[in-house]
């Protein structure tokens, strides 16, 4: 199993959650589209050559953003990341993926 963490302008969070769920993220037992979200503030300054969705080149920005986390089978990595990036409004979204151990001590769980 792997985990995707992506930072999204809050108004686009639903669309990104839906897209990654449709791509196979957030499947836990008999449930789909499972994720965790946390509200925060994203900060960035677009550099020359950028085409910012929000703000202007050279001007620091602070934007209400949502951190979305969801697990997915490693075999779905390309589909999940592609779906997240396609649904995300930013030119260069901030995200990370990493392996996780989602098994329980008895060997059961989503990764079993």
Spatial strand order in the sheet of 2-9: 36-44, 61-72, 2-9, 95-99
Q: Apex CA 55: angle with CA 50 and CA 58, to 5°?
A: 60
Split into its structural domains, the chain has a count of 1
| CA–CA distance, 48 with 93 (Å, rounded to integer) | 17
Per-residue pLDDT of the chain (112 residues), as tens digits, is: 999 999 999 999 999 999 999 999 999 889 999 999 999 999 999 999 999 999 999 999 999 999 999 999 999 999 999 999 999 999 999 999 999 987 777 766 665 4
Give me the CATH number covering residue 29.
Answer: 3.30.70.120
Does residue 104 sit within a domain?
Answer: no
CB 10 within 8 A of CB 105: no
**What residues contact residue 49 under an 8 Å CB cut-off, 6+ apart?**
none
Does residue 77 sit within a domain?
Answer: yes
């Amino acid at each position: 199993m792997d985990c995707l963490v992506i930072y999204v302008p809050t108004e686009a969070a639903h669309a990104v959650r839906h897209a990654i769920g449709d791509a196979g993220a957030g499947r836990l037992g008999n449930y789909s589209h499972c994720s965790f979200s946390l509200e925060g503030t994203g900060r960035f300054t677009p550099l020359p050559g950028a085409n910012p969705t929000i703000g202007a080149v050279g001007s620091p920005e602070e934007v209400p953003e949502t951190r979305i986390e969801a697990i997915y089978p490693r075999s779905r990595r390309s589909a999940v990341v592609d779906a997240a990036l396609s649904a995300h409004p930013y030119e260069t979204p901030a995200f990370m993926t990493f392996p996780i151990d989602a098994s329980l001590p008895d060997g059961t769980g989503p990764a079993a």
